[in-house]
A and B are shown apart, each in its own frame.
Chain A
Amino acid sequence: MNFLKPIVTPIGQFMVDWITVVFIFLQQNFGDDLTIFIVICVIIVISGIIINIVWPGDIKGSIFSKGKIEELEDKIDKDEEDIVDSIRRCKDCGNPIGDTEVCPLCGARN
């Protein structure tokens, strides 16, 4: 495994360096009181709840996301319309004919 050493060692050193700096900072400033950590946890959870209510991601959540979601819905509808439009139709009667040259309904050649 020695061939991995030149890659792994700098990575390990990088991880150790940044973690040490952050940890020493936390130890010096917040090393004796859990309050700040509890507050951060509560803030994250509450903001998570609020953001999920406002932007649930996959359904219309609120007025804030309405515009975007409707835009996407329009795009999806447009895609579906495009699929319907792309089907070949008979020039005379408008019946869908697919790949066939003769319309099965009116017998016209296309």
Chain B
Amino acid sequence: MGAVKNMVKGFIFAAIYVVTTIVIPMLLFSWVRTMVVQGLPLDFEQQDYVSVIFWLTAFGLIISGCAFFTYSSPKQSIRRGVFALIQVLVNCLYLWSYKFSGASDITFVIADFGYFTLNISQMILVYMGVYFLTLVLKVYDIIDFSINREKIREDRMKA
């Protein structure tokens, strides 16, 4: 695969990550803000909303950048392995930002009725476990790519 094809692939994956880490969560939060509970509108603390959106955008951008680098790199290359590892680490921070910015335990005020709180901390912790396994896999990849560097290059040149 040539440089152009590599980059097209990188851009496609970067776009996918922009959509899944920034656009969809933003739309989801906007939709939640328009929800009507027991016939009454929800009130979402503006400060919480701003904080959540800030960290989603910040880490989403870095994840998308790393995704571009990762997927535009040749298969089984060390640079691909390194950036895939960085991407997983940033993904962990991204996920944790939900918890830190209060989105994992957010309280919605329903005017003249009360409130409701949705706590997804347990879900985030389960995802953390999966990310740890992914982290192990990425470290394994880097070791594998480094040890078998010559063999991988030969195979790539033959292809």
Contact = CB atoms under 8 A, between A and B. Distances in A.
State yes or no: do A and B touch (Cβ within 8 Å).
yes
B64 A57 contact: no
A57 B77 contact: yes
A48 B6 CA distance: 10
B65 A41 contact: yes
B132 interface: yes
Given A44-B69, A48-B68, A56 B61 contact: no
Q: Taking chain A's interface residues, is the majority helix, strand, or loop, or is none over half, making it mixed?
A: helix
Given A27-B100, A44-B68, A75-B154, A61 B3 contact: yes
A44 B65 contact: yes
Contacts of A57: 1, 6, 73-74, 77, 156
B57 interface: yes
A57 B159 CA distance: 12
Contacts of A75: 154
Interface in B61-111: 61-62, 64-66, 68-69, 72-74, 77, 79, 92-93, 96-97, 100
Contact of B74 (A15, A48, A49, A58): A58
Contacts of A8: 129
B36 interface: no
B19 interface: no
A73 B153 CA distance: 10
Nearest to A32: B54
Contacts of B158: 76
A59 B6 CA distance: 12
Nearest to A61: B3
Q: What are the 9 closest A-B residue pairs judged by CB atoms, nearest first? A: A57-B74, A44-B65, A41-B65, A56-B3, A48-B69, A37-B58, A41-B61, A19-B96, A52-B3
27 contacts: A12-B125, A12-B132, A15-B128, A16-B128, A20-B96, A22-B93, A23-B97, A26-B93, A30-B58, A37-B58, A37-B59, A37-B62, A42-B65, A44-B62, A45-B69, A48-B73, A49-B72, A56-B3, A57-B1, A57-B77, A57-B156, A58-B74, A58-B159, A61-B3, A72-B154, A75-B154, A76-B154
